[in-house]
Amino acid sequence: MFGAIEAGGTKFVCAVGDEKGIIIERISIPTTVPEETMAQVITFFEKYQLDAIGVGSFGPIDINEESPTYGMITSTPKLPWRNYHFLQAMKDAFSVPIGFNTDVNAAALGESVHGAAKGLDSCLYITVGTGVGAGAVVQGKLLQGLSHPEMGHILVRRHPDDNYQGKCHYHSDCLEGLAAGPAIEGRWGKKGIDLVDKQEVWELEGYYIAQALMQYILILSPKKIILGGGVLKQKQVFASVYKYLPELMGGYVELPELSEYIVSPGLGDDAGITGSLLLAHQAFNHNSLKI
Ligand code: ADP
Ligand code: ZN
């Protein structure tokens, strides 16, 4: 039996289940300060005899096993969590193997094994919510280099009519700064959920996401693209992406039927937690191999 944490900026979802994605119990804990949130996480898992735990965390985090700061949350704007040693806190509480990766990598893994990209050895999972993040499975493995990719912060061409300055703490008008939930709210003065009938909001959203997808496709050539996160609950965005992407691509790369290629998560809101169970499973196997 495995434990899983989907650690988000607003809430931590903790679950106990197996690598098939079957969840037997789950809870949601508000993300406040590490001491408070983690105390509740530990109490939840202490009830179980676990074989391993998988963590899919908001970031940026250090996932380079060779690094002295491996397992830490690094330059997050969430100050109480900056430089918090997440993995160490888990290791201090539980003496089982612990898999540690980003929330979006976990979701990409979940979707590739049990969701919309099941049976494929490559996919890209993108979330557009409080931020924009993406995780990729390439040749059956999570894409990782120096650390994890940060695809949400690429530069995009501004729409000529868009004067919004952008909302990224680091780059102002990168993709996240122009297209994440807070940017929608900043530009239009209302939350996304209250702008459902305003077509230009979702048209512009698709305009930026299509540009990002073009670049991801050119660089990674994923076999499936999964768009998740709160903002993508607005299905109008998909229509806008399907319109702009072929225009941008100009026929250069032949794409599959877009409605099958660019899809919502097959696991719905459970992509991240299912992927975290798989991270636990991987950590368990990895550990058995070492012995
Ligand atoms: P998080 O990114 O914090 O894990 P979400 O993916 O739910 O959480 O993203 C939250 C952001 O998405 C907020 O900016 C919110 O306004 C926006 N959002 C959430 N639900 C919807 C919706 N149904 N329609 C449009 N925007 C939404
Ligand atoms: Zn940025």
pLDDT by residue for the chain (291 residues), tens digit each? 999 999 999 999 999 999 999 999 999 999 999 999 999 999 999 999 999 999 999 989 999 999 999 999 999 888 999 999 999 999 999 999 999 999 999 999 999 999 999 999 999 999 999 999 999 999 999 999 988 999 999 999 999 999 999 999 999 999 999 999 999 999 999 999 999 999 999 999 999 999 999 999 999 999 999 999 999 999 999 999 999 999 999 999 999 999 999 999 999 999 999 999 999 999 999 987 665
- With vertex at residue 279, the alpha carbon angle to CA 277 and CA 283, rounded to the nearest 5 degrees, is 120
- Which ligand has the minimum distance to the alpha carbon of residue 169? 2
Residue 33 φ then ψ, to 5°: -110, 155
User: In angstroms, what CA-CA distances link 282 with 52, 101, 102, 109, 240?
Assistant: 9, 11, 14, 11, 37
Place domain 116-264 in its CATH homologous superfamily: ATPase, nucleotide binding domain (3.30.420.40)
Question: From CA 246, how far away is CA 232, in angstroms rounded?
Answer: 19
269 C-alpha to ligand 1 centroid (Å): 12
60 C-alpha to ligand 2 centroid (Å): 12
Question: From CA 42, how far away is CA 252, in angstroms rounded?
Answer: 51
153 C-alpha to ligand 2 centroid (Å): 4
Q: What is the pLDDT of residue 287?
A: 82
Structure tokens at 253: 């790369």
8 CA closest ligand 1 atom index: 4
103 CA closest ligand 1 atom index: 4
Q: What is the pLDDT of residue 288?
A: 76
Structure tokens at 96: 């089982």
Q: What is the pLDDT of residue 291?
A: 52
Q: What is the pLDDT of residue 290?
A: 61
pTM of the predicted model as reported, rounded to 2 decimal places: 0.96
- With vertex at residue 253, the alpha carbon angle to CA 250 and CA 259, rounded to the nearest 5 degrees, is 90
184 CA closest ligand 1 atom index: 14
77 C-alpha to ligand 2 centroid (Å): 12
Packing angle between helix 236-249 and helix 199-220, nearest 10 degrees? Answer: 50
User: In angstroms, what CA-CA distances link 17 with 4, 26, 30, 76?
Assistant: 8, 9, 21, 29
191 CA closest ligand 1 atom index: 16
Lining ligand 1 with CB less than 6 A are: 8-10, 129-130, 181-182, 191-193, 229-231, 233-234
Protein residue with least CA distance to atom 13, ligand 1: 181
In words, the CATH class of domain 2-106+269-290 is alpha beta
288 C-alpha to ligand 1 centroid (Å): 39
Protein residue with least CA distance to atom 8, ligand 1: 129
Q: Which SS3 state, helix, strand or coil, does residue 59 take?
A: coil
Q: Which stretches within the chain are classed as H helix?
A: 34-46, 86-93, 103-114, 175-179, 181-188, 199-220, 236-249, 258-261, 271-290
Please say whether the dihedral angle defined by the alpha carbons of residues 123, 5, 150 and 287, taken in this order, is positive or negative: negative
211 C-alpha to ligand 2 centroid (Å): 15
Protein residue with least CA distance to atom 11, ligand 1: 129
Q: What is the pLDDT of residue 217?
A: 98
19 C-alpha to ligand 1 centroid (Å): 28
Protein residue with least CA distance to atom 19, ligand 1: 230
Q: What is the pLDDT of residue 45?
A: 98
Residue (of 69, 72, 76, 63) closest to 170 by Cα position: 76
Question: From CA 111, how far away is CA 244, in angstroms rounded?
Answer: 25
